[in-house]
């Protein structure tokens, strides 16, 4: 499998990643943005940012922060040095020739954000091109008005993408570079650290501290060349933009002020900390939500909408129930408001005319009260649209995530069945499905009361509840389900001995496999999904004898004797649990087994019995064109039965999973699907899990 980087053109399966390059909308947008870059530039860009960046190069890299403060332009470039380097070296050095050159880094940032959104959204190119790439507001911000917010947002998305791919240190470097491009990104750091902490099962401090140190170091290295000048500190960290965050106040007693924005931000952080896990979606929703909240309480600068629209579009595409209309209306309200303000540059930004026309000037026919009312109504409409978008994102994004079991707290799967039925094999299939870093396995055999060879095994079988510490399992599973780690001994089938107690970490997915998962009601009620494995008896005997002889140092005769001694307990304590299961897995052979226990592989078929709540019809229709596998689906009295014979490839399984898993895909993002009926079993297990969670069964 090829290793692929973030911006490589194809993914691990060699599938073209940059599908949007084939879309005409991309090239229309690119052409429009390039043309606009030659003909439009707002006051800030023309009279401050460009001269500032050009001075840095023309002066032989003297500090422009010092020079511009000395000439009295104290807010010329309220950005830390990373913004200066990124803009300057990628084209800004020539921007005194044309403002197009300082748009090159903005265009690269724009395309970079598009690529990452496309990766995160699994190639939703057309929607992304329509609602992100061709967003009238984002085009106005970068290519007409000329704000620079695309740059820090690129660093933010690169950092988030690396974080989602477990590249914590690289992610911290890019977040540090982002903060060193625009300090607003400081707001994101607590959410990033929460994400790392919540998704770090072992809660190892190093997994948390190292990213923090790397982030701080990156930020300092970028800033160090300028930090000795107070002009730099004044312009970048003491500018009027930052102070706006303190303007939203509620006067209290005397000089006391209640600061609205810090209060809301702390509430957001507290809400995020309530989640046991923070999914990738949730992190991006929280970030966009936080920036949006800040915008509600501060009269907006045009560029700040670059801090929310990419997140709103991401969210609207992810939550396909969410309409794009609120985002489109919000953009309309944005354009209306910024067309009506006194220093609107909708017309004056055009470089090749002295046109200083503004709608505000036309409004001067009215009295000032009417003009203020019109502007106030425009701002009220804009902020109301923003509020509605924020509400819907909370309702469909954050609140729903709180309700989603599989994303917000550990999901506990039980796998039961007699000895040799295939519990461990099925558990391995789940490990391939969810990834070992997302899944913790707990084995029932650890709670046997005695080790192999103990005299007690002459009086009682392993299948008896009396031979196992079943109530310890209940305590352990409850702790793990509540996100707590436990200490537990293990039973080593290689030696037949118990190990010392070891730490067992809670995780997104917990799998308990053993003889008695569903025997005690207090235990079986803990499971979110109950799977019972019961192959046809001849096949089980073949599997059990072959394995115990090959891997557990038994003789065939001893295994057969053990099976005979266990028959009564198996019926009484093990097979009786099948009725409590949500899914029953039955492998069976198509031909008679020539020599039971001789270790050879046999041709298998698979029968899956599922409770009737799960609608599998759409999935089976999706699989029906695959000729290599024969699938039969029948409804029985209390459940439904799916019989599968033949072969199916892991690619077919992956395509079906992608088609039906939707916004739970982050749990199968690193999935290794296997060929054959075991892959078919993986598909049905993840389908049932997601179906039950989505429909609250």
Ligand X SMILES: O=C(COP(=O)(O)O)[C@H](O)[C@H](O)COP(=O)(O)O
Q: Which residues bind ligand X (CB under 6 A)?
A: 419-420, 423-424, 445, 448, 452, 462, 493, 496, 515, 552
Site string for ligand ADP, 535-564 (x = CB under 6 A): --------x---x-----------------
When the beta carbons of 513 and 663 are compared against ligand ADP, the nearer one is: 513
Find all residues with CB under 8 Å of 216, minimum gap 6, and list them.
176
Find all residues with CB under 8 Å of 255, minimum gap 6, and list them.
none
When the beta carbons of 319 and 548 are compared against ligand ADP, the nearer one is: 548
- Binding segment toward ligand ADP, per CB under 6 A, in 111-119, 406-414, 417-425, 637-645: 417-425
When the beta carbons of 288 and 420 are compared against ligand ADP, the nearer one is: 420
678 binds, among ligand X, ligand ADP, none (CB under 5 to 8 A by kind): ligand ADP
Minimum CB distance to ligand ADP, residue 535 (Å): 7
CA pair distance 689, 531, nearest whole angstrom: 11
452 binds, among ligand ADP, ligand X, none (CB under 5 to 8 A by kind): ligand X
When the beta carbons of 494 and 696 are compared against ligand ADP, the nearer one is: 494
Q: Is residue 21 within 8 Å of residue 29, measured between CB atoms?
A: no
When the beta carbons of 215 and 677 are compared against ligand ADP, the nearer one is: 677
Q: How open is the CA angle 76-81-87, to the nearest 5 degrees?
A: 75
Is the Cα torsion angle 51, 54, 59, 63 positive or negative in sign?
A: positive
Minimum CB distance to ligand X, residue 478 (Å): 23
462 binds, among ligand ADP, ligand X, none (CB under 5 to 8 A by kind): ligand X
- Binding segment toward ligand ADP, per CB under 6 A, in 198-206, 412-420, 656-664, 688-696: 412-420
**Burial of 645 per CB tally in 10 Å (0-12, 13-18, 19+):** middle
CA pair distance 77, 87, nearest whole angstrom: 12
Name the residue among 459, 475, 424 with its Cα closest to residue 445.
424
Minimum CB distance to ligand ADP, residue 665 (Å): 25
CA pair distance 90, 69, nearest whole angstrom: 25
CB atoms within 10 A of CB 315: 21
When the beta carbons of 23 and 602 are compared against ligand ADP, the nearer one is: 602
CA pair distance 694, 527, nearest whole angstrom: 16
Q: How far is CA 432 from its chain centroid? A: 19
When the beta carbons of 462 and 530 are compared against ligand X, the nearer one is: 462
Minimum CB distance to ligand X, residue 658 (Å): 33
When the beta carbons of 404 and 448 are compared against ligand X, the nearer one is: 448
**Alpha carbon of 421 to those of 12, 175, 180, 442: distances in Å?**
34, 49, 58, 17
CA pair distance 227, 100, nearest whole angstrom: 30
- Binding segment toward ligand ADP, per CB under 6 A, in 48-56, 161-169, 391-399, 413-421: 413-421
When the beta carbons of 198 and 488 are compared against ligand ADP, the nearer one is: 488
Phi, psi of 675, rounded to the nearest 5 degrees: -75, 160
Minimum CB distance to ligand ADP, residue 499 (Å): 18
**Alpha carbon of 29 to those of 134, 197, 251, 464, 486: distances in Å?**
6, 40, 47, 70, 55
When the beta carbons of 282 and 608 are compared against ligand ADP, the nearer one is: 608
587 binds, among ligand ADP, ligand X, none (CB under 5 to 8 A by kind): ligand ADP
Q: Which residue is nearest to ligand X (CB)?
A: 419
When the beta carbons of 207 and 558 are compared against ligand ADP, the nearer one is: 558
103 binds, among ligand X, ligand ADP, none (CB under 5 to 8 A by kind): none
CA pair distance 284, 355, nearest whole angstrom: 41
Tokens of 464: 């008896």
483 binds, among ligand ADP, ligand X, none (CB under 5 to 8 A by kind): none
Minimum CB distance to ligand ADP, residue 414 (Å): 13
Minimum CB distance to ligand ADP, residue 422 (Å): 3
Minimum CB distance to ligand ADP, residue 452 (Å): 15
Q: Is residue 177 within 8 Å of residue 162, measured between CB atoms?
A: no
Site string for ligand ADP, 627-666 (x = CB under 6 A): ----------------------------------------
542 binds, among ligand X, ligand ADP, none (CB under 5 to 8 A by kind): none
Pairing of strands 509-514, 439-443: parallel
What number of chain residues touch ligand ADP (CB under 6 A)? 12
When the beta carbons of 244 and 558 are compared against ligand X, the nearer one is: 558
Minimum CB distance to ligand X, residue 654 (Å): 30
When the beta carbons of 400 and 547 are compared against ligand ADP, the nearer one is: 547
Q: Is residue 315 within 8 Å of residue 286, measured between CB atoms?
A: no
425 binds, among ligand ADP, ligand X, none (CB under 5 to 8 A by kind): ligand ADP
When the beta carbons of 293 and 430 are compared against ligand X, the nearer one is: 430
633 binds, among ligand X, ligand ADP, none (CB under 5 to 8 A by kind): none
Minimum CB distance to ligand X, residue 537 (Å): 15
Q: What is the DSSP letter of 623?
A: H
When the beta carbons of 570 and 649 are compared against ligand X, the nearer one is: 570
Find all residues with CB under 8 Å of 263, minimum gap 6, and list them.
none
Does the footprint of ligand ADP cover residue 678 (CB under 6 A)?
yes
What ranges make up the beta strands (E) of 292-391?
none
Q: Which residue is nearest to ligand ADP (CB)?
A: 422
Tokens of 624: 């029906």
- Binding segment toward ligand ADP, per CB under 6 A, in 207-215, 392-400, 416-424, 470-478: 416-424
Total residue length of the chain? 697
Minimum CB distance to ligand ADP, residue 615 (Å): 25
478 binds, among ligand X, ligand ADP, none (CB under 5 to 8 A by kind): none
CA pair distance 560, 548, nearest whole angstrom: 10
Site string for ligand ADP, 584-623 (x = CB under 6 A): ---x------------------------------------
Site string for ligand ADP, 192-211 (x = CB under 6 A): --------------------
Reading phi first (left if > 0) and then psi (alpha if -120 to 50, else beta), residue 575 is in alpha
Minimum CB distance to ligand X, residue 587 (Å): 15
Buried residues in 543-559 as b, exposed as e (16+ CB within 10 A): bbbbbbbeeeebeeeeb
Name the residue among 44, 84, 83 with its Cα closest to residue 64.
84
Is the Cα torsion angle 152, 153, 155, 160 positive or negative in sign?
A: positive
When the beta carbons of 168 and 443 are compared against ligand X, the nearer one is: 443
Tokens of 210: 């190292």
**Burial of 59 per CB tally in 10 Å (0-12, 13-18, 19+):** exposed
Minimum CB distance to ligand X, residue 599 (Å): 16
Name the residue among 308, 307, 309, 320 with its Cα closest to residue 131.
309
Find all residues with CB under 8 Å of 446, minimum gap 6, and list them.
488, 489, 490, 491, 498
Q: Is residue 117 within 8 Å of residue 310, measured between CB atoms?
A: yes
Minimum CB distance to ligand ADP, residue 628 (Å): 18
**Region 419-458 residues binding ligand ADP, contact defined as CB under 6 A:** 419-425
Find all residues with CB under 8 Å of 133, minimum gap 6, and list them.
20, 25, 26, 29, 110, 114
Please give the residue ranges that form the binding site for ligand ADP (CB under 6 A): 417, 419-425, 543, 547, 587, 678
């Amino acid at each position: 499998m090829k290793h692929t980087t973030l911006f490589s053109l194809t993914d691990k399966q060699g599938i073209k990643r940059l599908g949007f390059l084939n879309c005409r909308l991309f090239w229309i947008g690119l052409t429009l943005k390039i043309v606009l870059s030659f003909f439009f530039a707002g006051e800030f860009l023309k009279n401050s940012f460009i001269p500032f960046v050009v001075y840095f190069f023309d002066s032989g890299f003297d500090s422009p922060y010092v020079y511009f403060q000395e000439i009295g332009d104290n807010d010329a470039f309220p950005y830390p040095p990373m913004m200066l380097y990124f803009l300057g070296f990628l084209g800004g050095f020539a921007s005194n020739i044309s403002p197009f050159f300082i748009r090159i880094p903005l265009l690269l940032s724009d395309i970079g954000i598009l690529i990452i959104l496309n990766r995160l959204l699994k190639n939703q190119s057309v929607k992304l091109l329509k609602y992100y790439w061709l967003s009238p507001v984002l085009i106005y911000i970068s290519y007409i008005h000329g704000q620079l917010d695309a740059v820090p947002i690129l660093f933010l998305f690169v950092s988030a993408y690396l974080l989602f791919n477990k590249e914590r240190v690289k992610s911290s470097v890019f977040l540090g570079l982002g903060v060193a491009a625009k300090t607003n990104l400081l707001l994101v750091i607590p959410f990033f650290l929460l994400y790392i902490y919540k998704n770090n099962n072992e809660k190892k401090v190093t997994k948390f501290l190292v990213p923090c140190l790397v982030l701080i170091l990156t930020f300092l290295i970028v800033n160090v060349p300028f930090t000795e000048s107070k002009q730099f500190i004044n312009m970048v960290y003491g500018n009027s933009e930052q102070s706006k965050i303190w303007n939203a106040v509620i006067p209290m007693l005397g000089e006391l002020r209640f600061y609205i924005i810090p209060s809301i931000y702390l509430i957001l952080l507290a809400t995020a900390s309530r989640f046991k896990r923070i999914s990738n979606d949730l992190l991006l929703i929280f970030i966009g939500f936080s920036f949006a909240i800040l915008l509600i309480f501060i009269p907006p600068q045009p560029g700040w909408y670059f801090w929310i629209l990419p997140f709103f579009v991401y969210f609207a595409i992810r939550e396909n129930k969410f309409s794009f209309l609120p985002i489109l209306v919000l953009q309309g309200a944005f354009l209306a408001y910024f067309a009506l303000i006194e220093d609107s540059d909708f017309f004056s930004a055009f470089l090749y005319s002295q046109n200083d026309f503004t709608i505000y000037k036309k409004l001067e026919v009215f009295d000032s009260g009417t003009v203020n009312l019109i502007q106030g109504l425009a701002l009220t409409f804009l902020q109301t649209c923003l509020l509605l978008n924020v509400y819907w994102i909370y309702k469909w994004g954050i609140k729903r995530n709180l309700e989603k079991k599989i994303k917000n707290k550990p999901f506990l799967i039980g796998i039961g069945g007699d000895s040799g039925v295939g519990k461990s094999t099925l558990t391995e299939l789940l490990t391939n499905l969810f990834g070992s870093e997302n899944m913790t396995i707990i084995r029932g055999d650890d709670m046997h009361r005695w080790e192999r060879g103990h005299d007690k095994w002459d009086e009682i079988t392993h299948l008896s509840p009396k031979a196992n510490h079943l109530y310890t399992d209940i305590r352990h599973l409850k702790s793990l389900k509540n996100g707590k780690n436990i200490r537990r001994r293990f039973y080593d089938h290689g030696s037949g001995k118990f190990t010392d107690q070891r730490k067992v970490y809670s995780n997104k997915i917990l799998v308990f496999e053993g003889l008695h998962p569903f025997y005690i009601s207090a235990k079986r009620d803990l499971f979110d999904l109950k799977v019972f494995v019961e192959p046809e008896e001849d096949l089980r005997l073949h599997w059990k004898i072959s394995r115990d002889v090959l891997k557990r140092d038994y003789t065939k005769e001893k295994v057969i004797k053990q099976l005979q001694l266990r028959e009564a307990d198996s019926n009484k304590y093990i097979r009786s649990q099948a009725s409590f299961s949500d899914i029953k897995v039955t492998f069976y052979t198509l031909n008679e087994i020539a020599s039971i226990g001789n270790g050879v592989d046999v041709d298998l078929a698979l029968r899956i019995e599922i409770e009737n709540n799960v609608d599998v019809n759409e999935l089976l229709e999706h699989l029906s064109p695959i000729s290599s596998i024969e699938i039969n689906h029948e409804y029985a009295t209390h459940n439904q039965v799916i019989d599968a014979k033949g072969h199916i490839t892991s690619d077919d399984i992956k395509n079906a999973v992608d088609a039906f898993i939707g916004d739970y895909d982050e749990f199968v993002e690193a999935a290794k699907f296997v060929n054959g009926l075991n892959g078919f079993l993986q598909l049905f297990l993840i389908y049932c899990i997601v179906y039950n969670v989505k429909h609250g069964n």
